[in-house]
Structure 1
């Protein structure tokens, strides 16, 4: 059993899809499958149930997640204690963020970090920002970009890197929804008559729920969607209005297909999150320090 196999196992346990897991690990699906099989032989039990259509964790596989995560965390901690200050910093670091964040924040951060620490291997994983803190808290990823919640979980550190207004958007294409929006553009919007594209969970959903409660209506939900970018896409097609950070609109390929509704909006703060104890790792500490110098809020 080696650390690469543990990383492959965690990637497959997270995605439950050989192609996506192999892409994340930068290996071919046959290589990933072979490594998982070798790991199962060494463990002495099946970790996954798999056929041509699906992959599922067995009970042994679910239990093995904690072992794999703690083993890799202990290994990184040990390596950090063996760092020679006279040699270039080496190691690897994983960062989880939305697609929008890669353009808005992470490109500049990785560019600066790469110049300072060229020997460090950087892994970027994209997904729904509502999962960011959970990805870090579970130990799956070292660092993540997250919208600042009202209360940070214990043991999580936060570093602000940006802000963005929250805006409601609707379609620009001719459709019944646009007709309703245009009809009330100069007056009170009939929120109870509009369909909403809602996030599945997270800080953004909490903000929208609070808005609806303040205006005394229950939203008519067309769909619950994972990810801000998908919310913009559905809004552009006239399925419903959506509330997203303005920075998502700026970076979206659908920015000309949506309109920002004339509505007073609030602001959210965006930052990096990591486990407090991970800041003792020189690699994570180096990224944190680079971000502090780059994003001075």
Structure 2
């Protein structure tokens, strides 16, 4: 059982989607299926439950996932031991939102790439709310994330920037905001809110403090999706200003006046404490600190 096959299995165990893994790993779906079948034959257990609509790990698959994680960690450690201090190699996996990928990541990674050109950067973008989960699941070495109210004890965080949270409304649909003599009617105005994550925590805390029942139009994943829904006139919502300023829909929405001010986001580099012994992570962490 070679390292590449273990990496393919590990990627599929994360995505639970043959097409996504085959595309990301540059292998055809049929070839990926054959790899998984060979692994299952060697292990003597079914690792995935497949149907036309979904893929799930079996109990044996979950156990094998731990084995794969352990082997891949040992493989990376071997690379570290064989590398000299100034010639790092191997892979560094990063997770961040699309906005962070082109708004923050370049300034963080520019010097790193020049210093360690033999380190392969594996970048995955997605919902910012999943960043800490990716670290906890060991699906990424480092993530760019918003600092939660309580940072898990096994994680460390290094601040890179700050951004306020702003309520926004559509420009072309001004009537979507219901107002009274006292200001915005928050129980009548439709809201687009995140389905999970720190933004959701912030807005839920505000709901509880004000003791009102919000008119929730939709719950969606990702700040970019929230901005799109608002630009279409579906409601108003709360997003980090950094995301808004990078959005292609910036000219179709406006920051809402008279809205409450919620605690801002602190954006930074985050990793598991145990990852700091990894020289690739350690070097990035040190460079970000100096910057």
Give me the TM-score of the superposition, normalised by structure 2: 0.92
Residue number among 230, 247, 251 corresponding to 1:235 in the alignment: 230
Deviation at residue 183 of structure 1 after TM alignment: 5.1
Q: Alpha-carbon deviations, 1:230-270, whole Å to 9, x = none?
A: 11111111112110100111111111111110135332101
Gaps of 5+ in 2: none
Using the alignment, how far apart are the partners of 2:49 and 2:212 within structure 1?
45
Runs of 4+ in 1 over 4 A off after TM superposition: none
RMSD: 1.9
1:223 matched residue in structure 2: 218
Aligned ranges 1:13-162 → 2 under 5 Å? 13-85=13-85, 88-162=87-161
1:159, distance to aligned residue in structure 2 (A): 0.9
Q: CA deviation at 1:30?
A: 3.1
1:179 has 2:175 as partner: yes
For residues 231 and 180 of structure 1, do their structure 2 counterparts lie closer, same or farther at Cα, with a shift above 3 Å needed? closer
Task: Work out whether residues 179 and 185 of structure 2, in 8 Å CA contact, stay in contact via their aligned partners in 1.
Answer: no
Alpha-carbon distance, 1:23 to partner: 2.6
Alignment equivalent of 1:212, drawn from 194, 198, 207: 207
Q: Residues 163-202 of structure 1: matches in 2 within 5 Å? A: 163-174=162-173, 178-181=174-177, 188-202=183-197
Distance in 1 between residues matched to 2:26 and 2:267, nearest whole Å: 29
Task: Call closer, same or farther: CA 1:180–1:195 in 2, change over 3 Å.
Answer: closer
User: Residues 257 and 141 (structure 1 numbering): CA distance in 2 closer, same or farther, change over 3 Å?
Assistant: same
Provide the rounded CA distance (Å) in 2 between the counterparts of 1:30 and 1:36.
10
Distance 2:233 2:59 in 1: 44
SS in 2 for 1:207: helix
Q: Quick one: distance in 1 between partners of 2:290 and 2:186?
A: 43
Aligned counterpart for 2:266 among listed residues 260, 265, 269:
269
What SS is found at the alignment partner of 2:149? coil
Gap runs ≥5 in structure 1: none
Q: Is the 8 A contact 1:24 1:125 kept in 2?
A: no
Per-residue deviation, residues 135-162 of structure 1 (Å, max 9, x unmatched): 1011111111111011111111111111
How far apart are the structure 2 equivalents of 1:32 and 1:113? 33
Deviation of residue 180 (structure 1)?
A: 4.5
Query: 2:176, 2:190 within 8 Å by CA — same for their partners in 1?
Result: no
Is 1:283 the counterpart of 2:274? The answer is no
Question: For each residue in 1:11-37, what CA deviation from the matched residue of structure 2 results, as whole angstroms up to 9, or x when unmatched?
Answer: 111211112112332333333223222
Q: Distance in 2 between matches of 1:107 and 1:34?
A: 38
In 1, Cα distance between the equivalents of 2:198 and 2:179?
31
| Contact map agreement 2:178 2:184 (CA 8 A) in 1 | no
My pick for the range that moved more, 22-31 or 206-215, is 22-31
Give the Cα separation in 2 of the matches to 1:218 and 1:2.
Answer: 55
Question: CA contact under 8 A between 2:168 and 2:238: conserved in structure 1?
Answer: yes
Contact between 2:79 and 2:89, CA under 8 Å: does it hold in 1? no
Shifted more, 51-60 versus 97-106: the winner is 51-60
